[in-house]
């Protein structure tokens, strides 16, 4: 009997994406992510057209899709629609009546996600049955062989937890004066690497059981370009600057320095090699397609607008920061952050970024 895994869910639950409808809420600020999803619509369509087995389509009247790390929409709805459209097209192209096919979409995120908001904003004209699934995607979420297609956009870099070694005050990976791995000591970097490897192992192991044989997984994963150091990778640069703001506040006495030392953002950007070797180690999936979206971040105007960037980062991290430092420092912190991003804009703009677009197929077991 499968037992829902809660450990990591509880850990992850500490870091919900910000719900609600306020000006710095995720839904308002996720426009830049939708840009990527729109750009990647063609990738989804082609993946399904070329890689989806007709056998899977014909084996059941219901096609089940799961989106992992859905947040509160609306990108997740947009992806679901793209996938369904492509599957229907494929079905029709075989001379079949796509009216007979039904879709069920499972929206997954950690338990602390604002599912109420997600549910309220489900498109009223949706052509699928919707369900919400709370829990960490590093554990089992679905019954055996019950999902036809997994999708995840921008969620996989979120780790199941801050590596334990980094939380050990007396160990070599104690991350004093920093909140992230990319500008930290080799010990910290190693701890993050190891955590990512372990997480990917658990992620792929769970999915391998949940997906039907021959089923596809379509992932959009922000990563680290080959040959680019951690500290020069664009999203990392942005976190590093945020860490330096916290240290400024610590020096001013606004924030307890101990709290900065013990705080770490559980996010890790894989290289293409790390991604490939995780898939190889798992052994249940073939890489059917891999593209790099090199210039996505570079073309995103948000990186040319420090104030907007600060408010987007606030939207995605506010829950995490509130828990560690309290509500009251947030305005000062993110005001300073906006200023620093402006001062260091050339550093931001020189940061290298890549989004891996991958299609994996479950091999026969």
Q: Which parts of this chain interact with a second copy (CB under 8 A)?
A: 1-4, 6, 61-62, 98-99, 101-104, 106, 111-112, 114-116, 119-120, 122, 124-135, 140-146
Which is nearer to a second copy, 15 or 268 (by Cβ)?
Answer: 15
Which is nearer to a second copy, 133 or 197 (by Cβ)?
Answer: 133
Least Å distance, CB 139 to a second copy, is: 11
Least Å distance, CB 226 to a second copy, is: 38
Which is nearer to a second copy, 125 or 170 (by Cβ)?
Answer: 125
Least Å distance, CB 127 to a second copy, is: 5
- Give the chain's radius of gyration (CA, Å): 20
Least Å distance, CB 142 to a second copy, is: 6
Which is nearer to a second copy, 146 or 307 (by Cβ)?
Answer: 146
Strand ranges, E, within the chain: 62-68, 102-109, 129-134, 147-153, 211-223, 285-293, 354-362
Please, what is the end-to-end C-alpha distance for the chain in angstroms?
Answer: 20
Please give the Cα distance from 265 to 12 (Å, whole number).
11
Which is nearer to a second copy, 69 or 306 (by Cβ)?
Answer: 69
Which is nearer to a second copy, 106 or 285 (by Cβ)?
Answer: 106
256 is written with which tokens? 């307890």
The residue among 104, 141, 111, 123 whose CA lies nearest residue 19 is: 111
Least Å distance, CB 88 to a second copy, is: 8
Least Å distance, CB 207 to a second copy, is: 14
Least Å distance, CB 1 to a second copy, is: 5
CA geometry: angle 31, 35, 40, nearest 5 deg: 140
Range 217-253 burial, b when 16+ CB lie within 10 A, else e: bbbbbbbbbeebebebbbbbbbbbbbbbbbbebbeee
- Beta carbons of 226 and 294 less than 8 angstroms apart: no
**Beta 147-153 vs 211-223: how paired, if at all?**
parallel
Please give the Cα distance from 279 to 34 (Å, whole number).
27
Which is nearer to a second copy, 120 or 299 (by Cβ)?
Answer: 120
Least Å distance, CB 292 to a second copy, is: 34
Full DSSP string of 166-225: GG-TTSTT--TT-SSSTTS-HHHHHHHHHHHHHHHHHHHHHHHHHEEEEEEEEEEEEEB-
> Which residue reads 């607008």 in tokens?
305
Which is nearer to a second copy, 135 or 157 (by Cβ)?
Answer: 135
74 is written with which tokens? 């609306």
Which is nearer to a second copy, 32 or 115 (by Cβ)?
Answer: 115
287 is written with which tokens? 């890489």
Least Å distance, CB 124 to a second copy, is: 5
Please give the Cα distance from 209 to 140 (Å, whole number).
8
């Amino acid at each position: 009997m499968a037992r829902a895994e809660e450990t990591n869910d509880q850990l992850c639950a500490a870091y919900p994406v910000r719900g609600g409808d306020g000006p710095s809420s995720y839904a308002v600020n996720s426009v830049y992510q939708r840009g990527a999803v729109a750009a990647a619509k063609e990738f989804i369509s082609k993946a399904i057209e070329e890689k989806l087995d007709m056998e899977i389509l014909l084996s059941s009247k219901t096609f089940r899709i799961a989106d992992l790390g859905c947040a509160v929409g609306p990108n997740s709805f947009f992806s679901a629609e793209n996938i369904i459209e492509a599957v229907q097209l494929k079905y029709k192209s075989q001379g079949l009546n796509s009216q007979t096919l039904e879709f069920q979409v499972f929206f997954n995120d950690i338990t602390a996600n604002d599912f109420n908001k997600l549910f309220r904003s489900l498109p009223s004209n949706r052509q699928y049955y919707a369900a919400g699934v709370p829990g960490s995607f590093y554990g089992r979420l679905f019954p055996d062989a019950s999902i036809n297609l997994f999708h995840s956009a921008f969620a996989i870099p979120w780790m199941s937890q801050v590596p334990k070694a980094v939380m050990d005050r007396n160990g070599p990976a104690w991350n004093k004066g920093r909140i992230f791995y990319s500008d930290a000591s080799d010990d910290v970097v190693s701890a993050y690497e190891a955590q990512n490897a372990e997480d990917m192992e658990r992620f792929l192991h769970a999915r391998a059981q949940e997906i039907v044989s021959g089923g596809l997984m379509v992932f959009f994963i922000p990563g680290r370009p080959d040959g680019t150091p951690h500290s020069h990778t664009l999203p990392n640069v942005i976190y590093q600057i945020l860490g330096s703001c916290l240290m400024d506040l610590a020096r001013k006495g606004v924030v307890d320095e101990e709290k900065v030392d013990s705080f770490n953002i559980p996010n890790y950007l894989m290289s293409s090699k790390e991604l490939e070797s995780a898939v190889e180690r798992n052994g249940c999936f073939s890489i059917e397609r891999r593209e790099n979206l090199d210039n996505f971040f570079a073309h995103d105007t948000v990186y040319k607008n420090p104030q907007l960037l600060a408010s987007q980062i606030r939207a995605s991290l506010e829950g995490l920061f509130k828990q560690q430092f309290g509500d009251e420092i947030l305005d000062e912190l993110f005001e300073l952050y906006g200023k620093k991003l402006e001062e260091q804009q050339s550093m931001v703009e020189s940061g290298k970024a890549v989004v891996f677009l991958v299609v994996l197929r479950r091999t026969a077991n």
